[in-house]
Amino acid sequence: MNELIKLNLSQARDKLLKKDFSSVELTSAFIKQMEETRGLNAFITETPELALEQAKASDKRIAAGSAGIMEGIPIGMKDLFCSKGTLTTAASKILSNFIPPYESTVSQNLKDAGAVSLGKTNLDEFAMGSANITSAYGPVENPWKKQGDNAKLVPGGSSGGSAAAVAARSCMAATATDTGGSIRQPAAFCGLVGLKPTYGRCSRWGVVAFASSLDQAGPMTHTIRDAAIMLEAMSGYDPKDATSIDISVPNYESLLTGNVKGLRVGIPKEYQVDGMRSEIMDVWHKGVEWLKQAGAEILDISLPHTKYALPTYYIIAPAEASSNLARYDGIRYGARIEGEDLTDLYEKTRGQGFGNEVQRRIMIGTYVLSAGYYDAYFIKAQRVRRLITKDFTDAFQKVDCILTPTTPTAAFSLDNPPTDPVEMYMNDVLAVPANLAGLPALSLPGGLTSDGLPLGLQLVGKSFDEVTLLNAAQVIETAANFQGQVTQMRKAS
Amino acid sequence: MTTYIEGATGPWEVVIGLEVHAQVSSNSKLFSGASTEFGADPNSQVSFVDAGFPGMLPVINDFCVRQAIKTGLGLHAQINELSVFDRKNYFYPDLPSGYQISQFKHPIVGEGHLNIDLPDGETKAVRIERIHLEQDAGKSIHDQHPSKTFIDLNRSGVALMEIVTMPDISSREEAMAFVKNLRSLLRYLGTCDGNMEQGSMRADVNVSLRRPGAELGTRAEVKNVNSIRFMGQAIDFEVQRQMEILEEGGTIVQETRLFDPVRGETRSMRSKEEAHDYRYFPDPDLPPLRLKPELIEEIRKTLPELPEAKKTRFVEKLGLSPYDAAVLVSDAEFADYYESAIAAIKQQDDKAPKLLANWITSELFGAMNRDNLTISESKVRPEGIAELVDLITAGTISGRIAKDVFLQMWESGESAAQIVKEKGLEQVSDDSAIRVCIEQIMAANAGMVDEYRSGKDKLFGFFVGQVMKAMQGKANPKLLNDVLKEMLDGK
Amino acid sequence: MELTRENIIKVAHLARLEVPDERLEPLRQSLSQILDWIEMLNEVNVDGVEPMFSVNQEQMRRREDVVTDGGYAKDIVANAPGGAQYDMFSVPKVVE
Ligand SMILES: [Mg+2]
Ligand SMILES: [Zn+2]
């Protein structure tokens, strides 16, 4: 393995600016790794030629002293972000031939910051899934394995391709999106940092929509510092997105102090869900200890409506999705299956173009919005959503951020994933409350299961207070010394 | 005033409600920056937003919001400080996103009213239920290929105001008057050009019948009627159709119908009648629309004088008949023309405003109709017609001569004074010249003079005509009358 | 909430999804199960609670009425399945 790909983003950035190596050299190393790890199926479309072109341009800008904050850094782009001139599929058959004539705001922001895109990463179809097994381009494999067991594991989802690619060092960092845990859960499964920003922080323009009131793009990286750098590059008010918020973007990296003295951290008792493994509880307790030792004040809090978040989410997200996905009709772009008449064309195109999970969610969404059920399901869910949000508002009177586990389990088997949809949905039980309330939330690796799989800790913060999350997370990152834990476990076995 | 239709089994009351779709006059679309201009090449005025591409998002046009507020104020309506955009979900090829962005539960404008004139001279207030903003759909073209329908999305996303009335309208005449008044109001406000041929205004007409005083009957909705005349025909047809069904003891099916202008009849759109379930819900791409009271007040201050107020002023201050006033205010351009002419009048005379109104509504409109020109195309400008009226009130020319002068002005564009001067058409108001002429006529018709003097009064007109003829119509008619009477009576 | 076969057929048609016969029963079962689970929300008292359709959305920004977009018919129809005709999309003939 080339040494260059072992660097994290901030290290590589520093060395690129010092001209220790060029972006072309760095990018070439990642292209090679991307090829060697192809078996993971982390990429739907690889764009090595484009990447090298961009790397050349980056080297010129570095030489000219006009480098952006991610100049020359090779990243993966979740295949939900429209890339001008490059196939963009949302991992669906229905978009199997769609070449966007425009570039999403977030990917453009990254380009403008100098990032080099290696290709489009795999995901659950239309970002609907928690294991990256619903992709029309096949499942993604997690580079992590249980100790002494070669069975394939899922990388989590929906940003499973991004997570696997970063974990396998086929790219230095990757974009992801999070509607109900789709950044944080795969980050947790793959031992990475994943940050879902405040709703409105990153533009949704040009990102294939799943559930508009919940979708939010964010970075997936190896370290907290990397996440801070990439978040700054992705963020910003966009007049083309009416839900984007016009608040200036701080230089997150410069605000990293690693200081949590006096920070009030809430521990919600409701996040100790049924069937949560003791190893997860252990990591959670360790997280509490690390923050306490660094001078934070730990407070028990209650978020009483937590258990209703997941069913609430499974009304709102499918409802919005059923409408957002109506545009995939085989008329203007994408795949079309001809029919006897117009209705037949619609039904065949959509029935055969969408996979089972997507169809299931469109059906739920259509049902909960339909006459006679709208009030009982959709409106009810939106009322409960307000209660869930109020839980957080109340809690943030007393605390500055909240610490929980990211997921109730570690990565599970790719060959025998849960077949029961509700069991699968439980993966995101701890993640979706932050989406419903639009709050920033971050997952970082905290420890390992006894069989050596990564476990994530989640921090949830106040609106637009990503800085507090990053600082608290950095304290945990240092104390946990996750890489050290991994090395130690591998030595021991 | 309720009018009843006499059926074979008794009287019926017609109940009509309208949903008028009026295209908002704006440069760009409601949620995208593409142009709204009419008649462009296919799909040339379409953004990726209008075509429903993946990841595309709507951003609202402030001017369209202001236009809707202005329209609401013009209809004396409640402006809602909070309104919400909803998605109306259905599949159709001209609806690219699979939903129309509209306003369902919380429209931007609430209840208001628009007055119409009834034939008996009374006015009737037709209540407005609401106005909401929504997107237009694209166009399906069915006649260019034997087995395909083509889709042009130029109209997709153009802003519409849907103006919904209460079921207050009780005849075709009232319905037509309502749409005429509404169109005139929108033109005054500049919020819609009212151009029905280009589809800028179209109406869904809800028609039902009931026995006088009974509960509302089941209605049929005639969709997308795009001319006032067609609306009248559609209502006539529907009233007849429904009455026949009801009188035979049948029931009306609540349905959507289409007006066929060629046959002058409506027919059921059964193909589109499958159960609709639009699944309205607030569009998560668009936060609620909140309007500051200051904005509403700011817009209120920009409102022009509206047709009704103008009409009242014309009647009360200028002494016009309600009919003439109504004709002049029916179109903002007519009213502007009239007011410019009033401003150009130089001769102080109380009759001038009325005289001007008569000249505009009879001679000018007559000429416009004959030559199929609009008022802005007329060579006779307001200043010109004012000059003509000045010449009349000053006694320089007679009304009869003025008609000829007007025709020459209409043809050549020359000024009235110029024509009068060139052709020597000045009225003769010289007492002695008229007396000389009358003496000659009386001498030549001595027998008639005797007949007149023995009581045949009717012959007075004959003498007027003879003198006028001899003086080439230039005699001052009032003077001629007075002098002739005096001389015939032999005093 | 136990859904019927008819429910499934109706909703699938509303959503314009062709569901092969053999998929009807599994779909009916899984959707019924999900809806059953969702009924958990019945426990929550929401009296007097306003629905919350979005977050952080106090004010909607409005754009100026300026033509800034469009004028690229070829790009609009570039992805059209089966190609475009006269710069338009096409579908099987719709009878009105
Ligand atoms: Mg209607
Ligand atoms: Zn409408």
Share of chain B above pLDDT 90, in %: 73
In this structure, how many other beta carbons lie within 10 angstroms of the beta carbon of residue C61? 16
Evaluate if residue A27 carries a pLDDT over 80: yes
Distance, CA of A171 to CA of A37 (rounded, Å): 11
**What is d(CA B94, CA B156) in angstroms, rounded to the nearest whole number?**
8
Contact across the interface for B286 and A242, Cβ inside 8 Å:
yes
SS3 B141: strand
Would you say the pTM of this structure is higher than 0.90?
Answer: yes
Angle at B232 between CA B228 and CA B234, to 5 degrees: 110
The overall average pLDDT reported for chain A is: 97
- Please pick, among A130, A162, A182, A203, the residue that the annotation labels catalytic: A182
Nearest ligand to the CA of B222 is 1
Residue B336's DSSP bridge partners are none
Quick one: A425 exposed, middle or buried, by C-beta within 10 A (0-12, 13-18, 19+)?
Answer: buried
Give the model's confidence band at A53: pLDDT under 50 very low, under 70 low, under 90 confident, else very high.
very high
Least confident range of A188-197, A201-210, B416-425: B416-425
Q: Which of A145, A172, A156 is nearest to A122 (CA)?
A: A156
Instruction: Quickly state the pLDDT bin for B422 (edges 50, 70, 90).
Output: confident
Reported as type and span, the H/E element at residue A346 is: helix A342-353
Tokens of B445: 């018709």
d(CA A156, CA A186): 4
| Amino acid residing at C76 | I
Contacts of residue C29, Cβ cutoff 8 Å, sequence gap at least 6: none
Q: Which residues pair with B116 in a beta bridge?
A: B124
In this structure, are residues C49 and A387 in contact, taking their beta carbons and an 8 Å threshold? yes
d(CA B338, CA B318): 12
pLDDT 10s digits, B437-472:
998 999 899 888 989 888 888 889 899 998 888 888
Phi, psi at B277, each rounded to 5°: -145, 95
Question: Is residue B283's pLDDT more than 70?
Answer: yes
Q: Is the pLDDT of residue C58 over 90?
A: no
Structure token pair of residue A57: 């341009």
Q: Tell the burial category of B365 from Cβ atoms under 10 Å away from its Cβ (0-12, 13-18, 19+).
A: middle
Look at residue C72 and tell me whether its pLDDT is greater than 80. Answer: yes
Number of Cβ within 10 Å of residue B192's Cβ equals 26
pLDDT at residue A8 tops 90:
yes
The closest ligand to the CA of B131 turns out to be 2
For A363, the closest of C15, C50, C55 (CB atoms) is: C15
pLDDT tens digit sequence for A457-492: 999 999 999 999 999 999 999 999 999 999 999 888
- The strand ranges marked E within A165-269 are 173-177, 193-196, 217-221, 264-268
State yes or no: is A93 an active-site residue: no
Give A239's strand partners: none
Q: Which of A89, A312, A367, A369 to mutate to test the interface with C (most CBs of C within 10 A)?
A: A367
Q: What band does B327 get if pLDDT is binned at 50, 70 and 90?
A: very high
Chain A partners within 8 Å of B89 (Cβ): 322-323, 326, 369
| Spatial CB neighbours of B376, under 8 Å, sequence gap ≥ 6 | B333
d(CA A436, CA A458): 16
Summarised one tens digit per residue, pLDDT across range C2-22 is 899 999 999 999 999 999 999
- Above 80 in pLDDT, residue A4? yes
Output the CA B19–ligand 1 centroid distance in Å.
6
Is A182 catalytic? The answer is yes
pLDDT digits (tens, 9 = 90+) for B92-140: 999 999 999 999 999 999 999 999 988 887 889 999 999 999 999 999 9
- How close, in Å, is residue C76 to chain A by CA atoms? 8
Rounded distance between C-alpha atoms, residue B316 and residue B325, angstroms? 10
Q: How far apart are the first and last CA of chain A?
A: 22
- In the prediction, which pLDDT does A215 show? 98
**Per-residue DSSP letter, A350:** H
Using a pLDDT cut of 90, give the percent of chain A over it.
96
Average pLDDT, integer, range B410-421: 90
- Put simply, whether A104 touches B (Cβ < 8 Å) is yes
Instruction: Check pLDDT > 60 for residue B1.
Output: no
Quick one: pLDDT band at residue B473, thresholds 50, 70, 90? confident
Pairing of strands B82-83, B220-225: unpaired
Burial of A248 (0-12, 13-18, 19+ CB in 10 A): exposed
For residue A14, give the amino acid letter: D
> Can you tell me the distance from the alpha carbon of A338 to that of B257, in angstroms, rounded to the nearest whole number?
30
Q: Which residues of chain C have a CB within 8 Å of the CB of A367? A: 3, 7, 11, 31, 35
Round the CA-based radius of gyration of chain A to a whole number and report it.
21
- Asked if B60 is an interface residue toward chain A (Cβ–Cβ < 8 A), one would say yes
Instruction: Give the Cα-Cα-Cα angle C63, A382, A409 (nearest 5 degrees).
Output: 110
Q: Which residue among the candidates A83, A104, A158, A170 is catalytic per the annotation?
A: A158
Q: Is A367 on the interface with B (CB under 8 A)?
A: no
Instruction: State the distance from the centre of ligand 2 to the C-alpha of B161, rounded, in angstroms.
Output: 8
User: For residue C76, what pLDDT is reported?
Assistant: 97
Taking an 8 Å cut-off on Cβ atoms, the answer to whether A329 and B48 are in contact is no
Using the predicted structure, report yes or no on whether residue B427 has a pLDDT greater than 80: no
Quick one: average pLDDT of B283-299? 97
Question: Is A246–C34 a contact, with Cβ atoms under 8 angstroms apart?
Answer: no
Chains near B, with 3+ CB pairs < 8 A? A, C
**What single-letter amino acid sits at B237?**
F
Beta bridge partners of B256: B221
Are the C-beta atoms of residues C67 and B32 closer than 8 Å to each other? Answer: no
* CA of residue B134 to ligand 2 center, whole Å: 7
Q: What are the tens digits of pLDDT across the range A268-297?
A: 999 998 878 899 999 999 999 999 999 999
- Mean pLDDT for the stretch of residues A344-352: 98
**Ligand closest to CA B159:** 2
Distance in angstroms (rounded) separating the CA atoms of residues B243 and B246:
5
- The full DSSP string for B229-295 is HHHHHHHHHHHHHHHHHHHTT-----EEEEEETTTTEEEE-GGG-SPP----EE-TTS--EE--HHH
Residue ranges of C 18-77 with Cβ closer than 8 A to chain A: 18-20, 27, 30-31, 33-35, 37-38, 40-41, 43-44, 46, 49-57, 60-61, 63, 72, 75-77
Least confident of B24-38, B213-227, B454-468, C68-82: B454-468
**Cα distance from C9 to chain B (closest Cα, Å)?**
13
Residues 22-81 (C) with a CB less than 8 A from some CB of B = 53-54, 57-73, 75-77
pLDDT for A44 beyond 90: yes
8 A C-beta contact, residue C57 and residue B55: no
What would the two tokens of residue B85 be? 């955009």
Give the mean model confidence (pLDDT) for residues A18-37.
98
| A422-438 pLDDT tens trace | 889 989 999 999 999 99
Report the C-alpha gap between A81 and A320 in whole angstroms: 19
- State whether A239 and B60 contact (CB < 8 Å): no
Nearest CB to B286; choose among C60, C67, C92: C60
- As a whole number of angstroms, the distance between CA B47 and CA B134 comes to 17
Look at A71-75, A178-182, B445-449 and tell me which has the smallest mean pLDDT. Answer: B445-449
Terminal-residue alpha carbon distance, chain C: 38
DSSP-based three-state secondary structure for B223 = strand
Q: Mean pLDDT over residues B63-82, rounded?
A: 98
Query: What's residue B270's pLDDT?
Result: 65
> E strands within C49-96?
89-92
User: Nearest by CB to C15, which of A245, A322, A340?
Assistant: A322
Lowest mean pLDDT among A21-35, A222-236, B65-79, B309-323: B309-323
Gap from CA of B107 to ligand 1 centroid (Å): 14
